[in-house]
Amino acid sequence: MRRFVFLLLGLLVVLPLRAAAPPLLDAALKKFFADYDRWAFTQNIVEKDDKGKVVSEAVVRFDPSQPYEKQYVPLLVDGKTPTEKQLKKYRKQGEKRGNRAEKAEKEGKEVRQSLGELMDIDRATVYGDDGKTITFEVPLKKEGNKRLPPEKFLVLVKVGKESQAFESVTVNLREAMRAALVVKVKKGAGQIAFAVVDPKFAPAIVSIHGEASGSVMFISVGRDYDVKLTDFKRVKPYAERFGVQLGPLKALDF
């Protein structure tokens, strides 16, 4: 169940930039990508079980201007000073991020969030229009997608007409599905909220929520994740230290 929630959150974190996207959605994507890896921030991460009990908590500082192994720094883990083992875990997380960036640079490719690539931006359609915002339904691709059956999910992206920027992205499981032979997911949902952290720039991600419930071997299980982003600071990405600009990297590693 924990893995399934991470898959949902992974879908939300990065949308692929595509030339055939509807104009308003395309404008929002370009604004988001222009600023995506230029914010340092503090992540407050809380995981709860299906009873609402806190399973784990972490406060992590992310700074893309630092060398990759120093980009994720845990400040508190379950209310305590991080152990050496926990510090090593986050260093490895940063190193993996660096490996992806260096590989992309050598191959002349942009760094993409793999799950985001499953979203078929070219086929996005208008789902709703309230006068101030337009909500787009973005289908998932079928080709090369074995983990998330397209027909099982509803992905909605809300964009402000005047701001031409993201306001929210949501994904909902339409019906129950099996995530493994003994795992049945009955409910699943994820949401990203955007807000202005500096009026000179496009809205940034300020919160992420994901939840799922179902059963494993007929035993009910569930997980709930909340991530709050605070203390934003504008920085220059470490990836541009030699004047090379890469595509958006994954900052929130789910």
Instruction: Return the domain boundaries, the chain.
Output: 2-232
Lowest average pLDDT, out of 23-37, 63-77, 157-171, goes to 23-37
Tell me how far apart the alpha carbons of residues 42 and 196 are, in angstroms, rounded to a whole number: 16
Q: How crowded is residue 159: how many other Cβ atoms within 10 Å of its Cβ?
A: 24
Q: How far apart are the first and last CA of the chain?
A: 13
- Look at 138-142, 158-162, 224-228 and tell me which has the smallest mean pLDDT: 138-142
Say if CB 230 and CB 41 are below 8 A apart.
yes
Highest mean pLDDT: which range of 10-19, 110-119, 207-216: 207-216
